[in-house]
Amino acid sequence: MRLRFRRWSVAGMGVAVLVLSTACGSDGGAPDYGPYSTAPGDNDFDRQPSRIRGIFAESVRLADHIVFATDIDPDLTTVRGGGISADDRGFHETALSPQQRAAARPFGVAGSFGIAAANRPAGDGPPQKYLAVSLTAFRDERSATAAAAEMARVDFEASPDNAPVGVDAFPAALSHWRPGVPSLGSLMAWKNVVIRVYAELPDPDLGRLVDRVTTTYRKQVAGLAGFDTSPVPDPATVPLDPDGLLTRLVRTGDPLADPKTFAAFGVRAFSALSPEPPHTFGKYSGSGVTALAVSHNKYLYRMRDSKAAAQYGRDLAADPENSEYTWMRNVRGLTAATCSQATRPDPKSVQARRYRCVVVRDGYVGVVYSNTETDVRQLAAAQYAIMGDPR
């Protein structure tokens, strides 16, 4: 089965994905599940065709293969935008001109994701260094090749001053610049994906600009290793959760694909949405996180193994996040959950999250939130039960 997946800032999403917990004592007795079901989760959200779900999922799948700007130049530490740039309403990659977006649509855009970064924050003057990279999946290789050619053509014809540029290491790349302007744009079809690179440097040195684009292509093509390039004739059939992470979370809301409330991510994809992609990626991968999911007021981390899960649960339970927590009584009859109460609101979260419990089971770590003390314990008990059900 194919593994399918706007710039969402982690802080802006209010996705405090750093919060889970581990084993601690309880007061004994049978767990109280309250209104929550402990039956195995259902993947009904993936059964029927849905362009909203499919294009979102394919875009996130692309994000799990995108190069970080700091992989190209360590000075490019300031994220300047990016994210998912296609949905059921169309292709809306903001780094592309309206003419380029219009040129791409007829070829069957299945998903798109981009990332852009500079060496200084916005508002500090124009960037001296800037790099934008996007990946757009088309229905098949032939469509991607035709789309890249048409997008490059309309962009080149937008100005009579544009001049073609060759990238020797990648002869299939379609590139141009405006002589005297320190930027270079390039498009290249790689199987069923179109890679777009746009680079700016302090000086209009064409040789250095070509080197920057060449390096980006090399690292981006390497990053696409393992990407499933089989045809996508209909993105409405792409599943959101082929690995069953969302079915291991208690269902408490509508299962509509959304980065804030219902989604599954690879570690690189989730990191690409953060203000500091390489830092976030290093933190998760270094802790043994291999994938994660969000479902409303719950988060799930799939870990490398049970030992990594136990340690990560301990780390998360001790992490104060953006608020301060104090220990509280844990879940009755459940020693694998650690619960705590916020002593003040989280300034970075739109949602009020007064109580949290971190739950560890086998190779998974989950975190649940609630504004009611009894409810968070019931939710944690149900979450533990579901995490152990075989899929």
Confidence of residue 43 (pLDDT cuts 50, 70, 90): confident
Identify which of 199, 165, 183 has the alpha carbon closest to the alpha carbon of residue 72: 199
Q: What is the pLDDT of residues 170-196, one digit of tens each?
A: 999 999 999 999 999 999 999 999 999
Residues 37 and 65 in one domain: no
Confidence of residue 322 (pLDDT cuts 50, 70, 90): low
Residues 35 and 56 in one domain: no
Residues 302 and 361 in one domain: yes
Report strand pairing: 193-200 vs 183-190. Answer: antiparallel
Residue 233 belongs to some domain of the structure: no
Work out the angle at residue 277's Cα, subtended by the Cα atoms of residues 284 and 341, and round it to the nearest 5 degrees. 55
Average pLDDT over residues 48-71: 97
Confidence of residue 41 (pLDDT cuts 50, 70, 90): confident
Of 223, 252, 280, which marks where a domain is finished? Answer: 223
Average pLDDT, the chain: 88
Strand partners, 359: 337, 366
Residues 333 and 351 in one domain: yes
Of 192, 223, 254, which marks where a domain is finished? Answer: 223
Average pLDDT over residues 151-180: 97
pLDDT of residue 29: 63
Residues 31 and 165 in one domain: no
Residues contacting 171, CB < 8 A, separation 6+: none
Residue 5 belongs to some domain of the structure: no
Average pLDDT over residues 291-304: 96
The label of the residue with tokens 């949405």 reads: 273
Residues 31 and 83 in one domain: no
Give the whole-angstrom CA distance, residue 193 versus residue 154: 19
Q: Which pair of structure tokens corresponds to residue 49?
A: 């065709």
Res. 364: pLDDT tops 80: yes
Confidence of residue 323 (pLDDT cuts 50, 70, 90): low
pLDDT of residue 17: 34
- How many domains is the chain built from? 2
Residue 231 belongs to some domain of the structure: no
pLDDT of residue 26: 41
pLDDT of residue 45: 92
Confidence of residue 21 (pLDDT cuts 50, 70, 90): very low
Give the whole-angstrom CA distance, residue 312 versus residue 181: 49
Average pLDDT over residues 328-334: 77
pLDDT of residue 389: 59
Where in the sequence is the domain holding 368, given as residue range(s)? 10-43+243-387
Residues 37 and 112 in one domain: no
Instruction: Residue 171: give its domain's CATH number.
Output: 3.40.1000.70
Residue 236 belongs to some domain of the structure: no
Residues 58 and 129 in one domain: yes
Residues 148 and 178 in one domain: yes
The number of CA neighbours under 13 Å toward the Cβ of 306 is 6
- Report for 138-142, 252-256, 352-356: range of highest mean pLDDT: 138-142
Res. 22: pLDDT tops 70: no
Residue 81 belongs to some domain of the structure: yes
Helix (H, G, I), strand (E, B) or coil at 38: coil
Confidence of residue 62 (pLDDT cuts 50, 70, 90): very high
Residue 232 belongs to some domain of the structure: no
Q: What spatial distance separates the first Cα and last Cα of the chain, rounded to whole Å?
A: 15
Could you tell me the sign of the dihedral formed by the alpha carbons of 5, 10, 15, 18, in that order? positive
Give the whole-angstrom CA distance, residue 101 versus residue 112: 11
Q: What is the pLDDT of residues 243-289, one digit of tens each?
A: 999 999 999 888 989 888 999 999 999 999 998 999 999 999 999 99
Confidence of residue 326 (pLDDT cuts 50, 70, 90): confident
Residue 197 belongs to some domain of the structure: yes
Residues 62 and 194 in one domain: yes
The label of the residue with tokens 């979370």 reads: 249
Residues 125 and 22 in one domain: no
Residues 78 and 206 in one domain: yes
Q: Indicate the residue type of 297.
A: N
Confidence of residue 348 (pLDDT cuts 50, 70, 90): low
Confidence of residue 347 (pLDDT cuts 50, 70, 90): low
pLDDT of residue 40: 75
CB distance 217 to 197 below 8 Å: yes
Q: What is the pLDDT of residues 202-244, one digit of tens each?
A: 999 999 999 999 999 999 999 999 999 999 999 999 999 999 9
pLDDT of residue 91: 92
Residue 196 belongs to some domain of the structure: yes
Percentage of the chain lying above the pLDDT 70 cut: 87
More confident residue, 357 or 3: 357
Average pLDDT over residues 164-168: 98
Average pLDDT over residues 117-124: 88
